[in-house]
Structures are given as C-alpha cells and as structure tokens.
Structure 1
Amino acid sequence: MKNLFGRRESSPSFGGATGGFLKKHPKKWAFLAILLIAYYICLPKNLFESPTATVVESKQGTLLGAMIADDGQWRFPEIDSIPPKFKACLLQFEDAHFYRHPGFNPISMFKAMVENLSTGKTVRGGSTLTQQVVRLSRNGKRRSYWEKFIELILATRLEFRHSKEDILELYASHAPFGGNVVGLDGAAWRYFGRPPYQLSWAESATLAVLPNAPSLIYPGKNQERLLAKRNRLLKKLWNEEVIDSTTYELALLEELPKKPYPLPNTAPHLVQYLTKSKKGKRIATTLDDDLQRNVNFILQKHYQDLRQNQVHNAAVLVLDVPTRKVLSYVGNTMTTKEHQKDVDMVQANRSTGSVIKPLLYAAMLDAGELLPDMLVPDVPTQIAGYTPENFNQEYSGAVKAKQALARSLNIPAVRLLQEYGLEKFRDQLDGFGLKGIDKRADHYGLTLILGGAETNLWDLCKTYANLASTVNHFNGTSSEYFENEFTDLVLERDRTVDFGKKSVEKNLFDAGSIYLTFEAMKEVNRPEGDESWQFFDSSKDIAWKTGTSFGNKDAWAIGVTKDHVVGIWVGNADGEGRPDMTGVTSAAPILFDVFDVLQRSKWFEKPLDEFVKIEVCVESGYLATAICPKKTISIPKKQNFVKACNYHKTIHLDANRQFRVNSSCTDLSTASSESWFVLPILMEFYFKRAHPTYKTLPPFRQDCQADNVSPMEFIYPKDGSRITLPKNFEGKTNELILKLAHAEPDTEVYWYLGGTFLQQTRNFHEIGLLLSLGEHKITALDALGNEVAITITIE
C-alpha cells in the first residue's frame, strides 16, 4: 500500500499490535495468562470423592440388594440417565432456564438478592442447578457471598467441561433427599420401594422438592409442608402444560410416603460377596430376578421343616451350563444372628461327603480301568488300619460299579480309590479348581473319597457345569473339545466366557466317560415320595448325587442337566451335626423343588465318536471270556486295562447234575460240563442275601477229592489287625465280636483260641471273646475238616 508520496507502507497487523502490547504491558499479559490457567484448573477433576454404596442388580436391572456406603449414607453410584418425569419436575421446580444459561442466571440472582435484603434474611435462592452441583461438591463450605462468587466461577467452568445432561446426572446422583439418603436412586427405593423410572408424576414431584430443604422436610416429618410444596409443583406442571388436567387431579390424590422402605434384600450374601472385590460399584449381575425370588421361597419353605430338627442353615446355587452364568445365589436361610444367618454358605468350605465320588468314577472310566457293569466288592474291609463302612452299615457282597455310585456305597468307593491310586486322583482334583482341597494326598488318605476333604458349593457346582459343558460342546462341534472348558463362573451380566480354541485333545476327562458318569447318576433313587418318578411323563432326567459328611454335619445334593446345575448344602454353620440330616432326606427335596421351577432340559446326547463296542460277561461286567454269557456294551474309546472275567468257572457235574465231580472220582468224558458264576466266599456270603437267584456251587460227591479251596473266610477281624477294645458305661471292657462267612452256613464250625476249644456255631457264625492284651491266634474248623486262622493283637 502506497502513501501520498508514493512510498509503500506496511499494513497494521493484529500480531504486531499484540506484540507491541506485550512489550509495553508484559505484567498485564502474565496476569491474564495466570487467570486463564487458574480458571482452567480451578475445577477438580473429580468433583465428588464421597464413598458410595455397593449396588447389586439382576440381569433385568432390578435391585437385588445394596451395602451402605462407608460414611453411613445410602449414596448409590452415579446414574447415567434421568427419568423424563423427574427431569421435568426438577427443572420446573429448581431451574426453568437451565438449558439457556451459562451456569448462572443473573436475573434470578438479582431478584433473590433484592428479596433477601428487603426481608433481612434468606428467603429465596438464586442458584442454578449447575451452581447447586458445585455447592454439593464443596460440602461443608460456609454459605456467604464470597462463597457464592466462587460457586459462580466454578459453575461456568463446569458448563465448559460437561454437557447439560451430565450436570443433571451429577445433581440427581448427589443431591440430599433427607435422613441418610443421597441421590435419586437411593431416594426412589427408600421412599417408594421402586426404581426411579417406575415413579408416578406425584412421586417424581415429591422427590424433586426434597433436596430444597432435606434437613427440614422428608417423608414422615412435616408432612403438611411437604405436601404443599409437592402440590404447588404439580400445579406448575399443569400450568406449563407438562401434564394434563386428569393427570394433575389424579396426582393430587396420591399420598405421601410415611416412612422409608427397607431396600430389597433378595440376594444379601451375593451383595456381601461382591462387596469384597467391587466395593462402591453398581454391579449388573447374571441373576434372574424371578428365579431368585422363587428359590428364596423354596428354601424358606424347607427351612420351616429343617429347623424342627435344629438344622438352621442352607444354601442354593443355580447355574446356566452353556454360559456358566449364575442364575440364582442364596447363601443362607432367613434364620437368626444366633444361628449365623450372615455366613455365606455358598463360599464356605465344608466336608464333601460323597459328592466327589462321580469324579473318581469318571476318572477310572477315562483311564480305561473301570466298566459300568463291573462288579466291585462290597464286603467288610480294612486297609492299613482304616475300616470304611457304608452309610446303612450293610453289605451287598458285590455290586456293579454304576450301582455303587448310584447307591453311594462307601466301601466300593474306597476300594476303587485304592485300586486307581490315591495320589493320582488327588492330583487330578487340582484340575477342577476345588480350592478347599489344598493338601497332599497322604494328609487325606482314602477318606478323601468319603468327605475327608473340604470344598464349597461354588466350586462343586462349577465342576459339574464344566463336565456337562464338555459333553455339550463335544456334540455341538465336530467331536472336538475347547481348550478353556474348565473355567470359572460368570456373575457379571455383560461378561462372557472365552472357551478358547477347539482341540481334538480332551481337557481332564473325555466326553464319553463323563456321559457314562451322568448316566449312572441319573439312576439314583429320588427322595421319599418320588420313588416312581421315571414313570411320569412330566419327570425330568437329572443326573444327581447326594452326600452326607461324618457325624451328619453336612448334607449335599448336586443335580446336572444339559442346561442347568443346581447345588444344595444343608447343615449348621457352626458345624453341629444333627441326626436324620442326610443328603437324601434334607438336601435332595430342595434340589428337586428348584428343578421344578427351571425350564425342562433334554437329556445329554451320547457322544458317539468317543465310544467303541466291546463284549463283557453278563453277570460280572468284566471283559468277556469264552465260558461266560456275553453282552455288547459301549465304552470310551481308549486302551482298556480291565481284566478278563475270573468269576466264571467250568465245573463238572455227575449224571444227576446234583454233585460236582472231578478226575479223582469219575471219567470226566461222562460228566456234564457247565460254566458257573462263582464269587469269593466273603462276597458270596452277602451277595446271595440280596440275590435269591444266585446259585452256590454244588458240593463234591463224597467219593471225590475236593478242590483245595477253603469255604470259610473271616469277616471280622482281618488277619494282622491291631484292635483296642472299648469300655462300656460301667467301665468294663467290651467283648470282641468275631464273624465268619461259610459257603454252607448250616455247616457246624468249631472255634479255638490258641489250642483251646471255645464253642461251636451253626447258621450264624459269630462269637464274642474278652481277650487280654497281646497277640492271639484264632482258628475256625468246620465239620468237613476245612480250617482258617487269623492272628490279631489286642492293644
């Protein structure tokens, strides 16, 4: 640009002017910069640091329960939305120009100042909702004009940082609603027993006016003033055409709440459990609200009967197998503090009883060391000084493996564990994550399978859910497994399980072994009154197992279907045992009542690709030999270590088929040969009591030399036993009862102590002896000259 003299002038620039101003007034610019920085950082990053309650919701979003905040306030975590009714009420009552001001309203402030000065006291406030949020965050600051000025500055800064909706949510989350109730969520539940989104116009208006004077007006106090405030707000809503006349008139008829409602307490022990890891958070869980209420009702109904036997505690856990989500969590009954109602028995470690027997059964099937119909001895047993007993203290002699599991017989389980290997089984249990089982195998011994270890309902249910899912996934894929099949349970609604990649390799047990285990568990006799359940079309196929710990301290029942796992524990939290409290009588009835409210599931599909057909002997269940009747069964496809049957023997009978003969007395070419099912003498002694069709071996003809096999065997005590004789109430030492089994019970048996004859018995071969301390040899001789002897030590 040229001037009048033709010279070029530089144009004035803002930068140049600013630069000049900076040079001329550096202190002013520095001061301005400091003010801007101070303004930028004046608002704390987190406005509210107060502790919040732990809030637990169902998957439907309903409140299951809450744990009060550390400062004793019912202050729920901040909400992420505000119900339209409450928002409309709040804006009309507190700040009608909320969406049009920058954080403060000068007109309202001027009117309030004039009115307050004219009356000489504070009768009107001019604060916007934004300013009120700031004031709430500066809790404890004394009210003054200087404080008002600070609030105004911070309010404008808050408007720059947050949206209007965010500011409304902050207000609704932290406004006081009287008493120890802070925030809209807590107020809605405490005063109306409902979530905010279900409140009526009258209820929303009541809550909108409460923060205005929370220490003076709250439900149950100053009802007339509260009613007047609410009705004025309702009239304003009508005048502003927010609500119509009908809604207005109906709202006026609604009564005010008289006192706070207790918060829902549908899952108190779950709230307690989640508070340990998610304190002060809002947790949307996987629990189904309706199912949780039904299970609570079922447990409370059974508790009325249980406490007649002085049994006060019980717990229920329900799982969804495909997702591993927890559908219901009831940690205890509604008993009293004296009976420890607050103890969460879902997480408490207790003696397992028999509920891990199916794991041994599956392990042996998977290892190729067991067949479902294989006979297992069920006779008096002593192993390294340990003498297990069946719950009913009876013996079957021999029982099929799957029936031993279904009947929960202790002696067959102990014998199988010893045969399989205690340490091997103990190591496999680590794969299930049973946290209570954390000691070495020698600590538990063979009692491990009968309840010598402890674990909790959570881990047991998780274990059976993982097993069920293994079968489901194998059938749902191309006969493959998932690498992360054995995973933890899910409690948070939006979390899903990552089962990992597919693999042809099994996890712990193959699908075939698990399926056969569930098949055996399905045959368990149901509780009294349900014995004929399988004949009803409405019945459900359920694989289930009960357990009772030593001393009747714990009663368990675990049920598994394709879709669900239900676990029950019953007992006393203090460990007191009660007579007649067993898994079948106390826990199983609850189990089936819970299954009755669950959707019916189809039975597991058979994992055909994991099976191969083999022949076994019909009566013994062992691998077939050439001399036994056979049948074809399906077993897991793996190397089989089960022995061929040795319970079938070829015998020779005389022409009348009445006596056995051998080469010592006849030409065997003229004798009849026959395959005969023969059990060892002790097994036979008990087996034939329950099996009238069992045929004992015919005796040898008198002119024949008998086989060198004794027909007698001691039942108790066993050879080499070391025994301490107890004393009775009178202080006298009790006798030792000797028991003997004979293939022909009516044969006379003669008893000797050392070389001294004691007495003879017939039919029932039992005698009582009062023995001195030390070693003793006891001999039994029958009328046919057969002899058996044992040596024992009395300590």
Structure 2
Amino acid sequence: MAIQPNKLGYYAEYADQIPNNFKKILLQKEDRYFYYHFGLNPLSLARAAYQALINKKITGSSTINQQLVKILSNHENQRNWKNKIKEAYLAIALETQIDKEEILNMYANTIYLGNSVQGLNSASQLYFNRPANNLTDSQILRLIATIPNPTLNNPFLDKNARLTADLLPYYSGQIDQTEKIETFSNDEIASAKKVFYAYIRDPAMLEIDSLGLCLANSPKICQLTIDKELTAKLRDFLKGNLTVLAKNNTANGAITVIKEPQNELLAIIGTPDPTVDAYGYKINMAVQPRPIGSTVKPFIYLQAFARGLRPYTLVDDREYKYIIDSGFALYPKNYDYLYRGIVSLHYALSNSLNVPTVKTLEYVGLNNFYNFLSQDLKFKPIAPLPSYQLGIALGGLEMDLLSLSYYFSIFPNYGWLKPLTVYANNQTINYTSSTPNDYNLDKKIADPQYVQLINKILSDRLTGVEEFGLKSNLNLPAKNYGVKTGTSRDWHDSWTIGYTPDFLVGVWVGNSDNTAMDNISGSLGAGQIWAQAMNYILSSKYNQKTDFNFNLIASYNINGSLDWGLPNEKTASHLNRLLNNDLITNPHNNDVFLWSKNTQIILRASQKADWQINNRPAGQGTEVIFSPSAPGTYAIFAQAKNTTSSIKIIFNQPI
C-alpha cells in the first residue's frame, strides 16, 4: 500500500514493534525513569517549577507520556501552563489504560522528525534508506538529536552532526565514540528524498509517474482528475481478461478513460499489475507507441468528407496496384482477403475495409494527410511521415494509446481538440513522459458537420454486421456511442477506441516485447476489455446519457438505401468521385508472373469488352481466361463500347 500524507501533511509508516536499541538510547536521553514513574517525573517537575519561579521561564521536564500527549493533542507549538496541566493529567491517565511498551511504541510512531516524516520507520527510510530495525546506534542517536527541533536539527542539516557528536559522551560504553558522523551534501539530500518518495508511493501510481505528474521527488500533495476507484476497477478488468488471453500469447494491455466534454483524464492504466517485475508489467504501455491498425481510418474519412466525399460516395473495392517509393508494387488487401465490388464509404468504414480506405487516402492526398497529422494534431511520429506512404491506411502508423485517445476526443467534441486536463485545478500540464505529443492544444481541428458524419457511421452497429457479426463485443446496451477497432500486422496489436458524448474509452492489448499474439483481433482482444469498461462506466455517474448531435447533417435515399450527407446538397456530384473509368481491372500493367504449362490468368474488365492478345482476338466478355504458350511479354488490349485500354504483362521462366 502507499504511504499517504496524514491530515498534517506528514508521511507516517506505523510499526507494531520498535527496536530495543532505539528504546534504550531514547530513554537514556529523554526519560531515564520511564519504567518507574506513573506518567510524570516528580523530580523533573520540581526542577521545572523552581526554574519557572526564578527565571520566569517554562523549561523542559516532559516524560515520554507527556510528549506523547502533546503530540496527540497537537499542542507542540502551544506551550503554556494551561496545556502543561492538561497534558500532565492525560499523561497519568495513559498509565491507567496502556502498558509501558505500548506507550513507547505510540511515541516512536508519532514523533515528528522533520521533512514531512512522522515516526521512526518513515524517518529511517528518508534519512538512511533502511528500515528502523537496521539502524546503527549512531544513526538512532542522530534521530534522537532531531527531536527537540526537527525543522532545524534533522539529519540533513550540518547542525545535527554537531549535536550528535555532543551527545556521544553520554553514551560512553554503549555507542562507538570514534564513529565519524557524516554530513549530507545537497546532491545526497536530493537523492535521498527522491528514493524516499518513490518508496512511499502507491505502485498503482506507475502510470502517473511515467507521465511526469506529481513527481516522485516532490512531497507535494497533488490533486488529480484521476478516479482511483474507477482505475482500480478497470485494472481488475484488464488483469482478468489478460489471464484468459494468456493462452493466446497475450500478456499486456492498457486502458484510458477521458471525461467529455471537459477532456479530463479519469483513468490511465498501462499494466495489469504494477507490483510484478516480470512480463513487462513495470512498463506503462499506455504511452508506448505501437502500430494503430484501422483506428486511423476515421481520421482519413474525416479529411475526405471535408474535401467533398460523403458516406454515400461509392468506391470500387477490388485489387489495385500502387508503385511505392521503393519501386516495389503494393497490392492492398482487406482484412479477410476478399473484395466486395462497389460499396459506399459508409459501408467501407463500418466494416473497416482496407482497400477503400487506401483509395480514400489517395483522394485526400498523402501530403494533405501528413499536414493534418503534423500541423493540426501536432503529432510527432517515430519515423518521418513520408516513409509511411499509403501504409498509413493499412495501419502502419505508430501511436501510443494516450495520444490516440486524445486525438479521438475530437469526435465527441465535434471537431474541437481541447487540452487534456489531469490536475483538478485545471492547471496546464507539463508532461515529461516518453510520449512527445502535445496535450495542451485548444483548437478547432475539423468542421462539426464532417465530424457528425463520422459519428453517424461509427455509431451505426447494423452496417458493420458483415465484419463483426450480429453478436459482438462491440454491441452495448446503449445507442449513443461510437466505436472503432484496429489490428496491426500479424496480430501484434489489438485496439478498440469508443466514446459517448460523455466519456471516451481506449484499450490496447498486445505484448510489451512486441511478439505476436495468436489471432487476437481488435474486437476479440481489446474489444472484450473495452466492452466491460464501457458497460461499467455506462452505469456510473459519468454517464449523463447525452445524445449525439446530428443537427448539421441530413439523410438521403441513395439507390434505395438510407445514407447521410449535408443538407440540401446535390448527391450526384459526390456519389461517383472515387470511381474511375478503368476498363481493364485485372491484371495490372507490368505485372510479372511465373510461367508454366498450366498457367492461367483471368483477364477482367469493368464492362463487356472485346479482347486481343498480341494483336490476336482472345475472346469477348467481362472475363476471359488467358493461358500463355511460352514465357515472354504479352500486350493485352480491350475495347468496349466507348473506351479502350491496353497493358503489358510479363511471364518469366522458372529458374
């Protein structure tokens, strides 16, 4: 458990047993007749009274009992006869209720020893980085020298070393008189404080520390927006699910929760158990960048809608060939390696289709999307953005969960990216974590009408049935939520980000060492944890049951299906913007194949065509089978009613 500051702001770690050598050295200086008096020392009282009459000054005469009462009564700075008399009465009363050893233990646990530490155990850890039962006699003496004035006499100050040296002769035969009393340098003091405050912190603060919030080397009480009860509950969800997913080679996960529209961070969980040293559990995976898979797609479509595309815009989901900067050909594939022909962008995003997203990103323009990421979101990628190219649409862009969740907040906030609030007093955040991104932005990222189009798609659980099924982790007992999943290449990362107008939940699942999981997709891995988290928060005070606002968009009947666009627009001008007039759709120009006697290639056209191969008739129709007679280059020509098309393909002899 963590050592939390008490009501006085002191850190106290209480102990049932106090070391015998501490008791012995303490009593010799502070109260040598402790085991013989009844709570007061008559000789000391008489001496103090005489001094008061002669010098008109109250002098020290307190027993351990009286000092304990003074501490418990909080009268340490209120020294007068009234309090002295009251303390004397209570000191005697202690003797009738508690035995001597318990009184000593209470005193040792409550004595203030400077620098916000109370009690022997806490002081031992702060000043000497060891438990009390491992203190040397000279170290005990240094703590006892602190008692009269902890602020000015504590072991971090040179005066303590001098006072301790002065006390040594009184312990001749008990404490080594030749032991040198070392002083602390400023660097040693700073290091000791840092070690101590790390020691007293709750292991569950691992994530907060990794963000540089409420730094471990500062004793300041830090008021955060983090909901501790919610954090603990979600960590239990994460731990339980990862225990089940372990059979699929899945060890790590992370969860973030942001309260909307305030953009307050309610929870950040980067490990299922921060007390465990193995399995990468000491790493805050919520701030470790990983390929984000299809969770990037809403941002691509958002940019496309702002440039004239609409949810009802049609796209041909088929094989395309792109020559990337390396000179190699890229043939984008969908998650299930199937093509669906002509579909709407609404359908494509709902079912997370890769090929239509690549065509959409091509329409937006890579440079325009790079600028959106780097200039609008101020996102700082691991590699230069141009190195990702169209791979961004295929999930290759790396980002950490906290940053991705923060950027996703533009959707429940209708295009506005607000500062991520962590401190309860709304002070500006100065993150010093490993994530380089800026969480203090306060700017409009997109027009609200285009965000509403995205929200309409992501909150539509019916259109995505083909990909996710009628029964899915993504189906919740609510209607006012949007959700997007993502899976990185070869099952390395599973993502789910979802939100209502009241809160946002992000989940990542994978392995800290970046090994692949066994067939764990976004909806199966992160999706299960996300659903548990969402259902829990839906039943909490954070769910205000706020509905999405769709006042800036309109419904249209497009070819017999209901879809969405902007009010009073001419749908025909947006419908076919992604469709091209390619006649030959398969194969592609300069495609290379391995030749054999049994090789067959399907020649495919977008409409009925007459085909020629090397200027010889080869058939008629939308598909023709071609069997090359020998290796070599072949000229393919197709002619339809109002268009023609030609390509070259190459067949190589096996080596």
Q: Determine whether 1:286 maps to 2:229.
A: no
Give the number of aligned pairs. Answer: 484
- Normalised by the length of structure 1, the TM-score is 0.51
Structure-1 residue corresponding to 2:90: none
SS of corresponding position for 2:566:
strand
SS of corresponding position for 1:307:
helix
Structure-1 residue corresponding to 2:549: 606
**Within 1, Cα distance between the matches of 2:510 and 2:377?**
24
AA aligned to 1:340 is: G
SS of corresponding position for 2:602:
strand
Residue of structure 1 aligned with 2:351, choices 407, 415, 420: 407
Confirm or deny: 8 A CA contact 1:347 1:457 kept in the other structure: yes
Structure-2 residue corresponding to 1:233: none
Structure-2 residue corresponding to 1:492: 423
Q: Determine whether 1:470 maps to 2:414.
A: yes
**Within 2, Cα distance between the matches of 1:535 and 1:389?**
26
**Within 2, Cα distance between the matches of 1:737 and 1:278?**
68
Residue of structure 1 aligned with 2:453, choices 506, 511, 516: 516
Structure-1 residue corresponding to 2:235: 296
Matches for 1:728-739 after TM superposition, within 5 Å: 738-739=601-602
Structure-2 residue corresponding to 1:178: 121
**Within 2, Cα distance between the matches of 1:751 and 1:110?**
123
Confirm or deny: 8 A CA contact 1:365 1:636 kept in the other structure: no
Confirm or deny: 8 A CA contact 1:554 1:570 kept in the other structure: yes
**Within 1, Cα distance between the matches of 2:66 and 2:598?**
94
Residue of structure 1 aligned with 2:367, choices 423, 426, 432: 423
Structure-1 residue corresponding to 2:342: 398
**How far did 1:768 drift?**
6.9
Structure-1 residue corresponding to 2:647: 790
Q: Determine whether 1:581 maps to 2:438.
A: no
AA aligned to 1:487 is: K
Structure-2 residue corresponding to 1:635: 566
* Greater displacement, 598-607 / 543-552: 598-607
Residue of structure 2 aligned with 1:329, choices 240, 256, 268: 268
Q: Determine whether 1:718 maps to 2:588.
A: yes
Q: 1:324 to 1:592 in 2, by over 3 A?
A: same
Confirm or deny: 8 A CA contact 1:300 1:333 kept in the other structure: yes
Q: 1:761 to 1:365 in 2, by over 3 A?
A: closer
Structure-2 residue corresponding to 1:351: 291
**Within 2, Cα distance between the matches of 1:770 and 1:288?**
72
SS of corresponding position for 1:327:
strand
AA aligned to 2:573 is: K
**Within 1, Cα distance between the matches of 2:331 and 2:201?**
53
**Within 2, Cα distance between the matches of 1:337 and 1:82?**
29
**How far did 1:325 drift?**
1.4
**How far did 1:530 drift?**
6.1
Q: 1:770 to 1:601 in 2, by over 3 A?
A: farther
Structure-2 residue corresponding to 1:313: 252
SS of corresponding position for 1:266:
helix
Q: 1:541 to 1:419 in 2, by over 3 A?
A: same
**Within 2, Cα distance between the matches of 1:769 and 1:434?**
53
**How far did 1:452 drift?**
2.5
SS of corresponding position for 1:377:
strand
Q: 1:322 to 1:168 in 2, by over 3 A?
A: farther
AA aligned to 2:314 is: L
**Within 2, Cα distance between the matches of 1:287 and 1:771?**
70
Structure-2 residue corresponding to 1:556: 495
Structure-1 residue corresponding to 2:80: none
AA aligned to 1:643 is: S
**Within 2, Cα distance between the matches of 1:304 and 1:734?**
53
Confirm or deny: 8 A CA contact 1:351 1:554 kept in the other structure: yes
Confirm or deny: 8 A CA contact 1:515 1:604 kept in the other structure: no
Gaps of 5+ in 2: 15-26, 32-41, 49-61, 72-109, 133-142, 147-198, 324-328, 430-441
SS of corresponding position for 2:411:
helix
**Within 2, Cα distance between the matches of 1:377 and 1:744?**
14
Residue of structure 1 aligned with 2:635, choices 768, 777, 781: 777
Structure-1 residue corresponding to 2:388: 444
Confirm or deny: 8 A CA contact 2:321 2:330 kept in the other structure: yes
**Within 2, Cα distance between the matches of 1:506 and 1:640?**
31
Structure-2 residue corresponding to 1:69: none
Structure-1 residue corresponding to 2:135: none
* Greater displacement, 424-433 / 549-558: 424-433
Q: 1:533 to 1:602 in 2, by over 3 A?
A: farther
**Within 2, Cα distance between the matches of 1:632 and 1:764?**
32
Confirm or deny: 8 A CA contact 1:740 1:765 kept in the other structure: yes
Confirm or deny: 8 A CA contact 2:237 2:533 kept in the other structure: yes
Q: 1:470 to 1:350 in 2, by over 3 A?
A: same
Confirm or deny: 8 A CA contact 1:739 1:765 kept in the other structure: yes
AA aligned to 1:518 is: N
Gaps of 5+ in 1: 1-62, 67-75, 87-92, 96-104, 112-122, 133-166, 192-210, 215-260, 472-484, 499-504, 622-630, 648-678, 683-709, 726-731
Confirm or deny: 8 A CA contact 2:585 2:606 kept in the other structure: no
SS of corresponding position for 1:517:
helix
**How far did 1:560 drift?**
1.1
**How far did 1:379 drift?**
1.0
SS of corresponding position for 1:570:
strand
What do you get for the CA RMSD once the two structures are aligned?
5.1
Structure-2 residue corresponding to 1:379: 318
Look at both structures and tell me which one has the larger radius of gyration over its CA atoms: 1
**Within 2, Cα distance between the matches of 1:432 and 1:130?**
62
SS of corresponding position for 1:466:
coil
Structure-2 residue corresponding to 1:58: none
**How far did 1:110 drift?**
5.8
Residue of structure 2 aligned with 1:460, choices 384, 404, 409: 404
AA aligned to 1:398 is: I
Matches for 1:577-726 after TM superposition, within 5 Å: 577-599=516-538, 600-602=543-545, 604-606=547-549, 608=551, 610-611=552-553, 617-618=558-559, 634-635=565-566, 643=573, 713-715=584-586, 717-721=587-591, 723=592
SS of corresponding position for 2:491:
coil
Q: 1:466 to 1:528 in 2, by over 3 A?
A: closer
**Within 1, Cα distance between the matches of 2:301 and 2:406?**
18
Q: 1:364 to 1:640 in 2, by over 3 A?
A: farther
Q: 1:443 to 1:763 in 2, by over 3 A?
A: closer
AA aligned to 2:496 is: A
Q: 1:298 to 1:176 in 2, by over 3 A?
A: same
The percent of aligned pairs where both chains have the same amino acid is 20
SS of corresponding position for 2:233:
helix
**How far did 1:271 drift?**
3.4
Structure-2 residue corresponding to 1:741: 604
**Within 2, Cα distance between the matches of 1:278 and 1:389?**
48
AA aligned to 1:513 is: Y
Q: 1:175 to 1:632 in 2, by over 3 A?
A: closer
Q: 1:306 to 1:414 in 2, by over 3 A?
A: same
**Within 2, Cα distance between the matches of 1:460 and 1:262?**
32
**How far did 1:333 drift?**
2.8
Confirm or deny: 8 A CA contact 2:473 2:524 kept in the other structure: no
Residue of structure 1 aligned with 2:203, choices 265, 272, 275: 265
